[in-house]
Each structure stands twice: as C-alpha cells, then as structure tokens.
Structure 1
C-alpha cells in the first residue's frame, strides 16, 4: 500500500461525524511540504467521541483483565510487525533521525508486555487491616475511572500517543486521544492497529484539531487527563481539570542538568552527552541542556565532547543515513536561533555549531555547544528544546549539585563518575523525578517498572511502574463487622463506652507493634 493510500485510510479513524470539517494541512519538516489533511474537530466532535467512549467502556470493563491484556499484547506484536511502515511515518511527520524513531517504537511493545503481565495483580482486591482486629475487616477494590483523555505532543508521537493509553485501557478505561496537529497520522495508524488487535469499537477514539479548541473540550468531559507538553499549557490543563474535580498527570518541560565529576571517564561521558543533548535534535523532554563539569577534567571533556559532536552527520532522508534530523517547524527553529543569538550577544562562545542548515533541510540546526554563558541568558534559564547545550566548569561536586538544582524544573538529570555508589548518593540530592548515573536518560526511561515524571515546573504524577496504571483507578474500601453494629448499646453510659474504646485502642496499638 502506498503512503498516500495508507494516510487516506487511517484518516478515517478520526472521531468526527462531519468529514466536511475544515481541514488542517500537515507538513513534513524535512521538506516543509504537505503530507495530507486531517479534520479540524469541534466541541461537538469531542462530545460525540467521549459519548461513544462512555458507551463502549461499560462493555470493556466486563472483559476479564487477562482478556484485555491479550489484546494489548497482540497490539504490541503488530507494532513490531509493522515497524518499517511506522518508522517511515514517524520520520515523515517529525523529520527525526531513524535511530531516534526506533527508540520510541521499541517503547510501545515493551510497555504493552509490562502492563499485560502485571494488570491482574495490580487490579486484584487487597485485604487491609480492619478497625478492630478479629471483629472487623476491610477490603480495597479498584475500578477504572471511566474515560481517560490523553493529550500527546509532537516530539515523540509514536510512544507518547499510546504508552499512556495502554495502562488506562488495561485498567478497564476507555481512551479519547488528542494528538498534536503537527503529528496526527502516527496516532491514527496506532488506532488502526488497536482495532486489528481486537480492541472493541469506541474504546479508543481519536479527535484531531486545534489544541485551543479540542483540548479544553476534552478536559471538560473526561474523567482523567494525561497530558504531555509544555509547562505553560500544563498549567492550563491542571487548572481546568481542578475546576472539573478530576485528576490529571502532567509531564512538562525540563532544563535538565548533566554533572561530570573529576573521576569520570571523560571520553565515555562525552559520548553520553552527545546522546543526551542531541537525540531527536534536542527535542526531548529528558534531554540535557546544562552541563556542569569539574574543573580538573573540564578541558579534556570539552575537547572530547566537541570532537564527538562534530562527527555527527545531519540529514532528513528516510532511513538510517544520518545521526541528527530536523527541528519540527519554523517556530522551533526561530526559538533555537533566538536562544543562541541572545547568548552570543551576551558574550558566550560557540565551540561548534551555532547556525541553521537550510542546505540540509528547512528547519535543520547544527548541534551546538556554548561556553561562557551569562547566567541570565535565555538559553541558561529557559528550555530551548533544540540541539543546544551550555557547558560550565565547577569547583567540585557540591558546586555542581547547587548549580543543577538552581532551576524551577526537575524532570531528568544525570551524574557521570568512576564511583557509581558515590554517583547514586549525589543523585539523591538532585531535585528531579529521575536521575541516571553514567547514562543520559535511557537507563531511567527504559526502566518500565520504575515511575517516570517530574517535580516543580516539570509536572505532576508518574507514568511507568505500578503508579502508571494506578493513576487510572479509583479505590473503594469495603469494610464489614463480624459482630454487628459498632454503635454503643442503648442505655450504656458514655463513660463506659469511652473506657471500652480507649482499651480497644491500646490493644490495637500493641498488636500493630508486634505484627
């Protein structure tokens, strides 16, 4: 099937009853030319999609957790089987290098298998201590929240459009997905594969359109929101969710630090920095944008880092030919250029990069290393979200930790050292949701059993791990008494009742210490 035919087919997965909706044209970053069109969904379209999801969820919840897990495992298998087509589509929509597209593709079947293998145990009823030992008991049951709204970004459209949905579906929820309008087709392709895997109609709906219209309409109607995107938009989502008294999880921006200690293998750290700073042309929430290097190895590290960076090849072709691809659009390119120009205007030095490459692609920018950066420069304070990093010498570990924590963000960080245990101790002091030791981000991101998320302006809640599915569940306590009503018998003096309750409380406290 040709790309054009496939795009036309999957566009039919958009949840709208009015195909004549005003279209949005999607363009390829590699060429700035149109790929295709999607409907500009309205408030009514969102309402209809959520209504269908609600109806479907009432049947989906009756599926045994093992049945739901089997469908999601089959979906993971289909993602691997159709990997070449999916990778082509990711490169077409994002302009990223294919090796970086592979990273996000592999995350999908891994996430499916992780939650499929654990769904039954996580969803099982749990026995808890009753109010009075032997006389009462308590059981906690977990039920899906209902319909989950997922709002996904453009930078990792394959994994981030679906891996938040997988645990929600396994928990028995329906999902309505709003992908970014820059990268909708990969989400629609995944919706098609979910249907092929056996997911019932209506359980996974996709609405496309302007974020300013579809986003609020979705938050106003669903029972939970999982959002990945900018801190500014995340605040608006959280505020709206709060007004609706629904919960949300938010993975937002980052200004992630990387610390290189004097006892680190500086060549290995330099290779790690290249990966951590320039994967997906720096358009990665986990990317390192601030490097702090102990003075004793600063010059050697810098030479190695610059050398590794200059060896990176730029390109926008489909395939494995290039190391670094394109930025997503002209707005992102403009942001990167403004950050670099501002830093240079304040006295920063450009050791490599520092310029756009229209000869390679309309939005390609060279991997850039800056030193001598003014602390008040935009590139030092704001998330750049591009292939730009600042490198600063520090006097020692304490100075590095203080510099790393001098930020409102707290998503990801890394520590490079020849003493891994020391690195783990320092990691405890860094204010971030994830800290990797001797790795840039993959060791943390790929640890699917461990929660991933941010602190401060980097967000709320966690994906991955048991926490990643528990956020989509409501807990209910069912407590019972083996001796009937615990109310005091009629006519018993209050003083006697008080003495009995005090005695029971003391017994309970003693038992809790022994058990």
Structure 2
C-alpha cells in the first residue's frame, strides 16, 4: 500500500491521499501547488525581497532569534508532526529536527553579519599603491529550495536560515511524503515576524518542484536523489543559474585494529540505523580489520539485542518505521540480492512481522562484497553490512571503490592516524571516532564528491553561496589616467623595461606580492 496515491480532483491541481507509515491508515489529502501557484509565489517573493535585504544583519538576526525561541517552545508539536508523517523514533525527531534546528538558527543569527560584512582586501603588486579593493556580499534574490522526506523540518529550516540571513527570499517545497513537517518552517518564521512573502513553503509533488526550478529563481538548493539531481542541474545549467546539490551516499566506516571496539560498535549501530537509516551520510559499508573482526562482530550483535521498534514504545523506541513504501522496496530488494549472492544474515533481514506499518527489522549482515547491490547502491535503511579486510590499506581501497563520496568515519585510538586515514578517503567529509556529525556542526561546510553532489552548504561558505561576492575597485590617487589613449610606442618600451626590473632583475615584484 502506497504512502500517497493520486485521487480524483475537480480543479486544476493534483490531489494526493496520504497515509501513515506507522498504521498505513489515511491521514489526509494533499492538494499540490501547480505552475500558476508557483509563479505567484515567486512573484510575491520577488516583491518582498528588496525590503528584507535592506534590513541590517542585526534586524534579520532578531527574526531568527525569535524563531529559535518558538522552535524550543514548540518542541513537542514539531516532534509530533514529524513522527506522525515519518514514523521515525521520537529521539531522532528531537535530535535531528529540533535540537539541530535550534542550534543552526542561533549560529547563523550570531555569525552571518561577521561572515558577510563588507571588507577591504589588499591589492598586491604595484597596483596596491593606486587601488583600493572592497568586497561586498549581495543577496542573489529569490532562492528555490527543494528538500526530501528524510529530514522534512530540519532541511528546510537550516537552508532557509542561511538564505534569509544573506538577504534572500525563499520559495521552498518539501516532499509530498512529509508536507506538513516542511510547512511548519513557514508558520514558525511567520510567527517570528518574518515579512509576508519572504519565506513560502509550498505543498506539492515532483511537478511542483520542477515548476520552482523552471520558475525564474536566482538559485536552486536541492537535496534528494542522484537521478532527480541530474535533472535539476541540467535545468539550472540551461538557465545559467547557480545550484547546490546534496545527493545520495554510500558511506564507509573503517574499524582499525587499535579501535575502541565498544565505542565503534555503538557507532556502527547509530551510524547505520539513526533515523531508520534514512540520512544521506549514514553508514552503509563497514570495513573491519581482520585482527579485531570477530570481537567487533560479537559486540555489534550483543548491542543489537533488545532494540525497541514500534510506536507503542513511545520515547523508548530506537528504530522507527521506514518513512516511505518505495524505500521499503529498495531495502528489501538489496537485502534479498545480498542473501542470494552469499551474504550471511545474523539478525533481522526482513520486515517486522509483529507490526502493521512499514517497519524493517534492524539487520546485521556479513560476507558482503561489491558484487551485491547493498554494497554498491544507497540502501537508506537500518542495515549494518560488515566486511572483513586484511588491513587499513585494503579498507581505504574498498571505501574509495564507490560512485558516491558524501561522508565516512574512521575508528582508531590514535587520533593522528585517524586523521591521516580520513584524508585518504575520497569523500566530502569524514569523522574520526564518531559517526556522521559534520552536517550537525554548522561551521563545517557540507557537500559531496562524485555522485554525492555539487557544491557545499553550511557555515561561512554556505552563507556566501547565497550571495554574489562583488568586488569594488576604487582609485586612490586621481589625476591623469595612466596608459590612456592614444597609445604610444615608447609606452610599450617603458612597460617592458619596468617588467624586467620588477620580476627579473630585482626581487621588488615578489616583495610587493
């Protein structure tokens, strides 16, 4: 049974029947914004943006600080909305969707003005005597923001906060699987005093998102699948507008012979199963050096006993529902393919037979390899795939044998060794003795290599990505323009002699650079 399905409508908009992944019961009807709705939203954003951009960073920050207080006050409401739409464990909803949002709002409210403050930059060489260079950061205008179902509140709030602090207006669309979690962002910012039209969250499906991409915005920030990301990139390239793409992952975990195995086993479970495994930088491949393989596997299996699954456990639930029936199909397909090709299932390996909804048991598999879909493609589910390797060099080789490169993690009690191994992994970011925490640290730029994406979000770089970095060059000396028309032969001769003195016969040019 599908989490959403088309139903007949009497107007020009697409209507979808939504269902709970926990109970599979109908939860309501979604009316999708059409092209006319999208165009109207973009027009409102275009009209509202100049006044918002004219405000000081301090004034914009005050809106974010008020939004922060509202988020904390509405913690239970946000959690309930997210859990109702996704079926994720309450602890995941709190940490991913509430705490991280509050932290992000505070960070950008405090730091955006510092990061984006106009400043002077030294002009090198002889031009430094005559020219002054100032750098300013101008908002791009209207940002199109398209986010998926796995982090329906946080992914709208985090990117919107950056774009708004940079002075842009935002037209966003969350997934049709989790529309009302995304819509919370608009209502919270509106309550915080954000002017009308500056942030609009539209309800809709893929066609709604396509209308935003083609709607004449000034940048697209997209999080989602590789296939859809390619289409978005092609559209943006044709329109000559910037785009950031945060796409899929198949992240590797490397357990060294000197690792703290208790901590590593905890990290394997959390990295693989947090958010039901539905996050792009989740651990999907675990490579363990053979000297500690047996002990590590034993600890993993021990720690996996008694994990609670199902909404009846309330806040004690560890592994939530699979958010979307299409993702359940992928998880089941990958596990069955691995079993057929010789993988060993130590626990789990199937849907939870005791629960009505979309629940897949936390699963541990060994004897896996790159002939199996589960080690090559993104599974996005609560599955630990553990492979024995001879040494760390083999682990690095296998970690890099992937079309993806979003995140990774290394486990060793030698921090410098961990750092050096992390540098050898061809990935967008990496953690040492922790699972994927880089997205949760606002100061860390986040983005992928290879098929995992284009560009980076978050931190100072993410903020500046929502701006045009505009240089303004000011003449300091005045007077007659050097090298003005008409050109003369003696001027060329004089320039050649000057170049020789500057860079060949003396070190003056190097001193001035």
TM-score band by shorter chain is over 0.9
Distance between the aligned counterparts of 2:293 and 2:181, measured in 1? Answer: 42
Distance between the aligned counterparts of 1:193 and 1:448, measured in 2? Answer: 20
Q: CA deviation at 1:353?
A: 0.6
User: Structure 1, residues 159-196: CA drift from partner, whole Å, max 9, x if none?
Assistant: 01210110100010000001000101112122111011
Q: Does 1:120 align with 2:118?
A: no
Quickly say closer, same or farther: Cα 1:23–1:501, change in 2 above 3 A.
Answer: farther
Q: Does the 8 Å CA contact 1:315/1:361 hold for their aligned counterparts?
A: no
Q: Does the 8 Å CA contact 2:271/2:283 hold for their aligned counterparts?
A: yes
Q: Does the 8 Å CA contact 1:90/1:101 hold for their aligned counterparts?
A: yes
User: Structure 1, residues 122-162: CA drift from partner, whole Å, max 9, x if none?
Assistant: 22212123471221222122100000011010001110121
User: Structure 1, residues 302-353: CA drift from partner, whole Å, max 9, x if none?
Assistant: 0101111223111134830211010012221111111111111111110111
Q: Does 1:419 align with 2:417?
A: no
User: Structure 1, residues 3-27: CA drift from partner, whole Å, max 9, x if none?
Assistant: xxxxxxxxxxxxxxx9984432222
Distance between the aligned counterparts of 1:30 and 1:506, measured in 2? Answer: 77
Quickly say closer, same or farther: Cα 1:491–1:27, change in 2 above 3 A.
Answer: closer
Quickly say closer, same or farther: Cα 1:107–1:21, change in 2 above 3 A.
Answer: same
Map of 1:75-474 to 2, 5 A cutoff?
A: 75-104=67-96, 105-130=98-123, 132-211=127-206, 213-220=207-214, 221-317=216-312, 319-442=314-437, 444-474=438-468
Scaled by the length of structure 2, the TM-score of the pair is 0.93
Distance between the aligned counterparts of 2:270 and 2:184, measured in 1? Answer: 28
Q: Does the 8 Å CA contact 1:119/1:171 hold for their aligned counterparts?
A: yes
Scaled by the length of structure 1, the TM-score of the pair is 0.92
Q: Does the 8 Å CA contact 2:174/2:203 hold for their aligned counterparts?
A: yes
In structure 2, the residue matched to 1:70 is: 62
User: Structure 1, residues 403-438: CA drift from partner, whole Å, max 9, x if none?
Assistant: 111101000100000111100011110111111000
User: Structure 1, residues 52-106: CA drift from partner, whole Å, max 9, x if none?
Assistant: 0000002111111110011011101110110011001111010000111111211
What's the secondary structure of 2:435's corresponding residue? Answer: coil
Distance between the aligned counterparts of 1:53 and 1:512, measured in 2? Answer: 49
Quickly say closer, same or farther: Cα 1:446–1:40, change in 2 above 3 A.
Answer: closer
Map of 1:494-505 to 2, 5 A cutoff?
A: 494-500=489-495, 503=498
Distance between the aligned counterparts of 2:501 and 2:470, measured in 1? Answer: 28
Distance between the aligned counterparts of 1:22 and 1:459, measured in 2? Answer: 30
Q: Which runs of 5+ in 1 are unaligned?
A: 1-17
Quickly say closer, same or farther: Cα 1:67–1:19, change in 2 above 3 A.
Answer: farther
Distance between the aligned counterparts of 1:372 and 1:126, measured in 2? Answer: 57
Equivalenced residue count is 496
In structure 1, the residue matched to 2:7 is: none
What is the root-mean-square deviation in Å for CA atoms of aligned residues? Answer: 1.9
Q: Which runs of 5+ in 2 are unaligned?
A: 1-9
What's the secondary structure of 1:76's corresponding residue? Answer: helix
What's the secondary structure of 2:451's corresponding residue? Answer: helix
Q: Does the 8 Å CA contact 1:310/1:352 hold for their aligned counterparts?
A: no
Q: CA deviation at 1:493?
A: 2.5
Quickly say closer, same or farther: Cα 1:84–1:332, change in 2 above 3 A.
Answer: same
